[in-house]
Amino acid sequence: MGEDVEALKRRLPLLEYLRQHNWTGQPAGRSEFVGLCPLHEETQPSFYVNTRKDVFYCHGCGQGGDLIRFIQLSSHLSFRQSLACLDTQAGRAADSAAVLEQATAFYQQQLDNYPEALSYLNRRGLYDPALISELKIGYAPGGSLRRHLTAQDYSFDLLRQVGLLNVNGADAFYQRIVLPTRTASDTPSLRIWCVPVSACPRSCN
């Protein structure tokens, strides 16, 4: 049981879980973040998360522990109920990470097929193909990602959930440079820029 619990917590680190539930923390050291406590009302941040130890402690209410303990306190669940809840959420997080990895790879493959995208990168000072590959920069032409990912059995709901499809079920990104980034827990996300017709680029987060 102990090994299974530790493996489950590694799949969804505490900080990532809190951010998924709209907690905002500011860096407070090399491996710590601080913000308002989600477990009680307060006006001064006293809730600390240690990403190295994957634990929390609130100096306001005195509560602390790991992710499972946080779920017990915040959702008023037993230990076993908290494990079941975490297992479900970790599974969703793994699916989201996998589909973003697939999207990133697809966008990378598209980049060489669109000279306007490469020209945009050149104007931004990116000439080295090795560096572009290392950064995993890609291009979203639009109209083809949905077909590519649904052929791999990813659901429309998941693609919409991670922001790859819009509310109408079409590709969310058209004619855009894609730069994948990662959170503190190594979960991938996608930062998007437009490829402008004019010479003036604009950020399109």
Residue 108 to residues 20, 105, 150, Cα–Cα distance (Å):
27, 5, 18
Q: Does residue 200 carry a pLDDT above 60? A: no
Q: What does the pLDDT read at residue 96? A: 77
pLDDT band at 57 (very low <50, low <70, confident <90, very high): very high
So what CATH class is 95-194? alpha beta
Which regions of the chain carry the CATH code 3.90.980.10?
A: 95-194
Where does the pLDDT of residue 123 fall: very low under 50, low under 70, confident under 90, or very high at 90 and above? confident
Q: What is the pLDDT of residue 95?
A: 76
CATH architecture of 2-76: Alpha-Beta Complex (3.90)
For residue 22, what pLDDT band results from cuts at 50, 70 and 90? Answer: confident
The CATH 3.90.580.10 portion of the chain extends over 2-76
Q: Could you report the per-residue pLDDT of 104-114, keeping only the tens digit for each?
A: 999 999 998 99
Alpha-carbon distance of 55 to 13, in angstroms, equals 9
With tokens 């017990």, the residue in question is 72
